[in-house]
Amino acid sequence: MATTAQKRPPSRWQEIRSSTRYQKTVRSIISYTILCIGAAFVLFPMLWMISSSMKPSWQIFTSPPIWIPQEWESVTAGNTNRQILLYRVQRDGETENVIQIGSRRYTTAIDAARLTDLQSVPSDQLGTATSTVIDGITFNVRSWTTDGQTQDVVALARGEGDNLLVAPVSVLQTAALRMPLDEVNSGGRVTLEIDGAEFRGREIETEDGTLSVIPIGPETDLVVVGPPESVANARLVPAELVSSAGTAVIGETELPLSIVEGSDEEYIVLATDSWQPIINEDELDAYAFVADRAALGERSQRDVNGVSVQVTQYTPEGGTPQTVVILVSGTQNSLVIPVDDAATLRLAQYADMTTTRGDTMDRIPYRVQDGYSEGDVTSSVALIGDPRNMALIVPADAVNDAFDVAPANLERALHTEFTFDSYREALTTKVGGTYFPTFFRNSFVLVILNTIGHVISCIVVAYAFARLRAPGKNFLFLVLLGTMMLPFPVTLVPMYEIFRDLNMVNTLWPLFIRSFFGNAFLIFMMRQFFSSIPKELEEAARIDGASTLRIIWNVFVPLSKPAIATVIIFTFWWTWNSFLEPLIYLSSPDMFPVSLGLNFFQDQYGTSIYFDRLIAASVLSMLPMLILFFFAQRYFIDGIQMTGMK
């Protein structure tokens, strides 16, 4: 074999393989692959964080991750501010947008009278349960293997010890019913005895008499959905006026129908929530007034703009009576507004009244919700009276276009939307008794002071090391280089002592004062730069009689802009990112720099409940560094090369 192979001329493939071009291509493919893996490792966490900072919080920990922030799509129900979520569903090969108009839960129940063939089986002889649909009824089927024979069974109850009571699927098929869970649960509880075993069942009244059933599960949902247009005519009615009026059959499920007191028309209830009467604050400021109790007549309930409110007759002394809405009723007097001026009186979802504040008019207090938004309009609204339960109803003709679908086939309709709520909250929420922008201010103050200190001290010291001759200079330069390698923890404790004795603990002083005494690395870098400046330039100045400081200022500083830029950038970098020293020296949060302040968004073990704010705050904290980096990357890289090349 081997000899024949040797004799054979090199194949085309071998030729290709040995060609330089081929090798180069392979090598560059491998190179790019490794680079891409590395870049993914670097970029994905950052992109994830930046995109998460602009997501609504429910999207932050989805799996798989959502890379582009999205928002739920919704339609507005009728003339209310209630948003109804949109879903996408596949029907006849097409994707449709729908809204949920009802859902019902079903369970599999066994007609106790027809249950036979029960067996007690050790649980380890049973396979795992798989949900199987037989003739429209769902069973948790398990395989039972005994004596080499396998049959499908369903576990019904616990038996003695580790045994389970099972029945063969073939028996259950004839005895099982698919029943709405609410119907099953409405029956009275009963204990049934079958083949000596006890079962907990329900007794249900049917047209043919009492039926004893044993619910065995699994429970399944069926959702009724309809076109989004169904909500166009939606309106709110007080929940207590709504009563049940049978069901409409939709596909495999039923949808409960309702009637509203005083009418025979049938409706579908989309949702029942708590609603709060509100009125725009500027309208309240313009038209509301405080009326003396004596000037007010009998109170009555009346609909104003579809909102049931208390109204009364107001008769000012010597004036004409008018009907007013009572906004806040007090013991001596009440805050009222004329009915005709209460144009913005309406209902708002109570769930939106999350951050109310108190306000008063002539010492009568009321509550205000700022930033209440309806569509594009945001306003401050005053809360009137108590919240009430309201049912959102649509006419029952909506069932004509409705159909049923399993919840698994419903998918929330989403669209790309960047939200800045996390940022707003991070910036405006009180943390540690102060606000996040304070940390920024502190960091910037430190950056500026440290920069001034480093630039002045490093230029002067570096000049001396670069240009002047003196005994002991080389030794001192070695000491300077040595301090770059010294571990700083060894100085932590005495340094704290020094600043404590100077009464500087819990001030910013310890965090910037040392920069006025130079920094070994920056001095070294500056000296290298100064050494490369031709001597002739300063000779000329010196002959003119310029002083040393003047030479530094007039000759070296203008020529050293790149080096000074590096000093500034490195100072910014170190100051912005320093953590341990602020942690040691500062205890009042209003003095914290960003690095330390960030920790406030996080509790001890990183399980922050405010993770959306924490992410936004982290991105904010990175921003100055990222901006600096993109504008001055060259200086970072030059400086870094200095640190590593000796």
Partner 1 sequence: MLVRLQKRLNLSSPMERREALTFYILISPWLIGFLIFWAYPMLRSLYLSFTTYSLQGPPIWVGFRNYERIFSDADFWQSLKVTLTYAFGSVLGGTSIALLLALILSQKLRGITIWRTIFFMPSILSSIAVAILWLYVFRPEGGLFNLALGAIGIEGPNWLNSEQWALPAMIIMSWWTIGGQIVIYLAGIKGIPDILYEAADLDGASPFQRFRFITLPMLSPTIFFNVVLAIIGALQVFDVGWVLTRGGPNDSTLFYLINLYERAFQLVQFGYASALAWILFIIIMAITLLVIRSSTLWVFYETEQR
Site for partner 1 in 496-555 (CB under 8 A): 496-498, 500, 514, 516-518, 523, 548
Question: Of 612, 586, 587, 614, whose CA–CA distance to 600 is shortest?
Answer: 614
In the complex, the smallest distance separating the C-beta of residue 506 from partner 1, rounded to whole angstroms, is 13
> Hey, which residues between 617 and 636 contact partner 1 (CB under 8 A)?
618, 621-622, 625-626, 628-629, 633, 636
**Count of residues interacting with partner 1 (CB under 8 A):** 95
> Hey, which residues between 239 and 278 contact partner 1 (CB under 8 A)?
none
Residue 515 CB contacts under 8 Å (≥ 6 apart), including other chains: 449, 450, 451, 452, 453, 454, 457, 571
Q: Could you tell me the two tokens for 230?
A: 């169904």
Helices (H), 416-547: 421-428, 436-467, 473-485, 489-501, 520-531, 535-543
Which of 136, 487, 545, 558 contacts partner 1 by CB under 8 A?
A: 487
In the complex, the smallest distance separating the C-beta of residue 35 from partner 1, rounded to whole angstroms, is 6
Which one of the spans 129-137, 238-246, 327-335, 590-598 is the region binding partner 1 (CB under 8 A)?
590-598
In the complex, the smallest distance separating the C-beta of residue 105 from partner 1, rounded to whole angstroms, is 27
Which of 314/556 has CB closer to partner 1? 556
The pair phi, psi for residue 412, each rounded to 5°, is -65, 135
Which of 44/114 has CB closer to partner 1? 44
Which of 428, 483, 531, 588 contacts partner 1 by CB under 8 A?
A: 483
Distance of alpha carbon 497 from alpha carbon 493, whole angstroms: 6
> Hey, which residues between 26 and 45 contact partner 1 (CB under 8 A)?
27-28, 31-32, 34-35, 38-39, 41-45
Which of 52, 334, 438, 442 contacts partner 1 by CB under 8 A?
A: 52
Which of 43/286 has CB closer to partner 1? 43
Residue 574 CB contacts under 8 Å (≥ 6 apart), including other chains: 450
In the complex, the smallest distance separating the C-beta of residue 67 from partner 1, rounded to whole angstroms, is 11
Number of residues that this document lists for the chain: 646
Q: Is residue 178 a contact residue for partner 1 (CB under 8 A)? A: no
The alpha carbon of residue 605 and the mean position of all alpha carbons in its chain are separated, in whole angstroms, by 19
Residue 37 CB contacts under 8 Å (≥ 6 apart), including other chains: none
Q: Is residue 641 a contact residue for partner 1 (CB under 8 A)? A: yes
Q: Is residue 365 a contact residue for partner 1 (CB under 8 A)? A: no
In the complex, the smallest distance separating the C-beta of residue 498 from partner 1, rounded to whole angstroms, is 7
The pair phi, psi for residue 629, each rounded to 5°, is -65, -45
Q: Is residue 65 a contact residue for partner 1 (CB under 8 A)? A: yes
In the complex, the smallest distance separating the C-beta of residue 55 from partner 1, rounded to whole angstroms, is 12
> Hey, which residues between 563 and 582 contact partner 1 (CB under 8 A)?
573, 576-577, 579-580
C-alpha angle 355-359-364 in degrees, rounded to nearest 5: 135
Which of 249/476 has CB closer to partner 1? 476
Place of tokens 């940390």: 439
**What single string gives the DSSP state of each residue in 375-395?**
TTEEEEEEE-S--EEEEEEEE
Residue 172 neighbours by CB distance under 10 Å: 26
Which one of the spans 112-120, 271-279, 332-340, 456-464 is the region binding partner 1 (CB under 8 A)?
456-464
